[in-house]
Structure 1
């Protein structure tokens, strides 16, 4: 599990600082994608309002898109439109992050309940075809639990660069405490402090800028007046992880596919082999070329193409259905 958003100290400006608050140039495909309309709604789960965005209709099979730690539904604003023609595509935001409410305490079971609640609220369980969940990084760990506990209600899960490490790979996979208490005096300063974690280069600054702007909010409180990150900075101090991911992976009760960035330091071959061994079956394992951990940001079009191909294969029972890639 890895922090998706972490602030810089003034001595370590982020890659967006060079733009001085201006929006980096972006390709036409990205501009068209983020201009695609969607509905924004909330569903209440255990007292907290959970934010989600919908691009399509409940008349189509459900496709739930799930973000990583400290991130939000807008990480899929440039991904979701490519699936809206064929799917009831929805992106959600976990509590304590983005536009969803914060909680006094957090746990994996509640995050899984939030996924199921969004599926219910968007009519995914009313369709004859069960929904599929696609989840990145920390969201993938939640989805491993969801696939174990609620797999009979799902077509399958796609776990994107969420490493379940073998015992001999002695590295911490728990999220680090997010340093999100600081209030920045203006938007430009805040954008200049945005970076990805684990630290990695990302050439697509236009995507980083887009998600960074959605990661911030204006505040005027006891901490000051200006701009602050939307996520709860104390979430991992008040969190219960529950069963180990290795145990839950064995209990997966639906189809499962594993994606990784081919250059991801979190998902080397030894992790791939271990996860396949745990599952004790052949599963699709897709490596996205020239992508690191943040696959959606590094190679968004390659990710879209690979996911379309996988879903088309899983939809093989519908012979008249075609999905362009």
Structure 2
């Protein structure tokens, strides 16, 4: 692979379905393209530590999903997986329509698996960190309710989001403390970094997350939805599925979803939860570099 000196990222923009979407380009043009896709309610800068290491050998590109970071918000709250897959497709074309490697977390992983299924000829390798969506057990529990009740619950949820509005904090430090309560396995340094780059001040002296709070209501397409196993079967490239040993997420090797992938392996990372790439970054990078090699 081509190797160049590592510098900071450049902010760039592309357009998809009427939105101006932001991404970070870590340089090394001409090297193989590696796209890092963040999870829900996050932003591109959460990947900085890992992107800096990978950019010596790859052209690392890190998008802000629609409604997140420095990307446009979608009027009307169009934030379903199906809304975001065309955005990833537009980014790949904007980068020169070359084959890409995808590394994606949670919501980003779900988007990446859909893209790899729809465009298998454009994806060389796919690493998904806890990004296959709801487990079979969770889907079964959900569907104990009739579809009508599920849809009504979703309508109530989005109306509540409209009325409640976004959360605010008196300072970045207060937001970081709240983030650490939610995920105590994060380092304080990383929590503060994520908040510093993921928030903006308001006119009343408060701080709010850059993401559109309506992202939390993007569940209508999930009402009584089927498992996307037919899409997973269409993925042709090697796949690495990574899970934290202490996560709430269901391991696909244990719940049966692994059988739907033609060329996949599952790796479990000890002393890590849903954000395993942040909880155990050195171990994550060791597994990822082995897979990419």
Q: 1:157 to 1:212 in 2, by over 3 A?
A: same
SS in 2 for 1:114: helix
Verify the 8 A CA contact 1:64 1:91 in the aligned structure 2.
yes
User: Which residue number corresponds to residue 107 of structure 1?
Assistant: 80
Alignment of 1:1-325 (within 5 A): 36-104=7-75, 105-123=78-96, 125-126=97-98, 130-169=99-138, 170=140, 181-195=166-180, 199-220=182-203, 224-237=204-217, 241=221, 244-268=227-251, 272-279=254-261, 281-312=262-293
Verify the 8 A CA contact 2:172 2:195 in the aligned structure 1.
no
Q: TM-score, normalised by structure 2?
A: 0.80
Verify the 8 A CA contact 2:239 2:263 in the aligned structure 1.
no
SS in 1 for 2:23: strand
More helix by percentage: 2
Larger RCO of the pair (alpha carbons < 8 Å, separation 6+): 1
Q: TM-score, normalised by structure 1?
A: 0.73
Question: Deviations for 1:229-258, whole angstroms, at most 9, x for unmatched residues?
Answer: 111111243555376433322232433221
Unpaired runs of at least 5, structure 1: 1-34, 313-325
How many residue pairs align between the two structures?
266
Unpaired runs of at least 5, structure 2: 1-5, 143-149
Cα distance in 2, alignment partners of residues 201 and 184 from structure 1: 19
Verify the 8 A CA contact 1:66 1:91 in the aligned structure 2.
yes
Cα distance in 2, alignment partners of residues 110 and 294 from structure 1: 24
SS in 2 for 1:284: strand
Verify the 8 A CA contact 1:163 1:266 in the aligned structure 2.
no
What RMSD in Å do the two structures reach over aligned CA positions? Answer: 2.7
Q: 1:188 to 1:156 in 2, by over 3 A?
A: closer
Q: 1:187 to 1:209 in 2, by over 3 A?
A: closer
State the 1:162 CA deviation.
2.0
State the 1:192 CA deviation.
3.3
Cα distance in 1, alignment partners of residues 246 and 173 from structure 2: 31
State the 1:165 CA deviation.
4.8
Q: 1:214 to 1:250 in 2, by over 3 A?
A: same
Question: Deviations for 1:106-149, whole angstroms, at most 9, x for unmatched residues?
Answer: 332331122122222233x34xxx21111001111111110111
SS in 1 for 2:189: helix
State the 1:73 CA deviation.
0.6
- Most deviating of 253-262 and 47-56: 253-262
Cα distance in 1, alignment partners of residues 82 and 45 from structure 2: 23
Question: Deviations for 1:187-208, whole angstroms, at most 9, x for unmatched residues?
Answer: 3433333347xx4421522111
